[in-house]
Amino acid sequence: MHESRLGNLLGAAALALSDLMLARVREAAGVSVSGAAALVVLAHSPGVSVTELGRRVGLSQPATARMVSSLEAAGLARRGAGEGRTVPVALTPDGERTVREVLDTRAAGTEQVLADLDAHDRRVLTRLLEGLLTRLYAEVGSSEVLCRLCDRACCTDGAACPVGQAERDRGR
């Protein structure tokens, strides 16, 4: 299969940005990328069950249980008293601080990449990314997975999140 130049450029840019962002997130959180994503998810959904947390970050139940244990050991999250097999997880105060550091670090990294774009280019890129994310939602099928490291307040400040809108349009 022959890839277009645009597709190749997009792939290279996406991979480079992902590598940079994930390295910064790992460093800021002091845990794995999945652990950092779990912290962000917990900030938006305190008390979510271990099973649901795993679904949102894309891990199996055993992997999620190990990750939650490591977050507990680091003092970033705690399991609550559950009903039956449903065990809720919440952030500790240190976990809340870590989420702020993760989101700030992620934002600083992406803003550094965007720094040389003028206002017009930023508007054009915003429009293109909104469309791309809408199409990616159709492929991924989960706003929770797609936006697991997003600063949701930032994304919805003065605009609708394209992923959230795609999910609403789908009727979920």
How far is Cα of residue 124 from the mean position of the Cα atoms in its chain? 23
The sign of the dihedral angle between the CA atoms of 155, 158, 162, 165 is positive
Is 66 a residue whose pLDDT tops 60? yes
Domains of the chain, residue spans: 16-115, 117-172
Is 163 a residue whose pLDDT tops 70? yes
**Structure-block tokens of residue 141:** 């099928």
Is 72 a residue whose pLDDT tops 80? yes
Output the pLDDT for position 41. Answer: 94
Output the pLDDT for position 93. Answer: 97
> Can you tell me the distance from the alpha carbon of 89 to that of 68, in angstroms, rounded to the nearest whole number?
8
pLDDT in tens, 115-129: 999 999 999 999 999
pLDDT in tens, 97-120: 999 999 999 888 889 999 999 999
Classified as helix, coil or strand, 49 is strand
Q: Three-state SS string across 73-133, please? A: HCCCEEECCCECCECEEEECHHHHHHHHHHHHHHHHHHHHHHCCCCHHHHHHHHHHHHHHH
Rounded to the nearest integer, the mean pLDDT of the chain is 90
**Class for domain 16-115, per CATH?**
mainly alpha
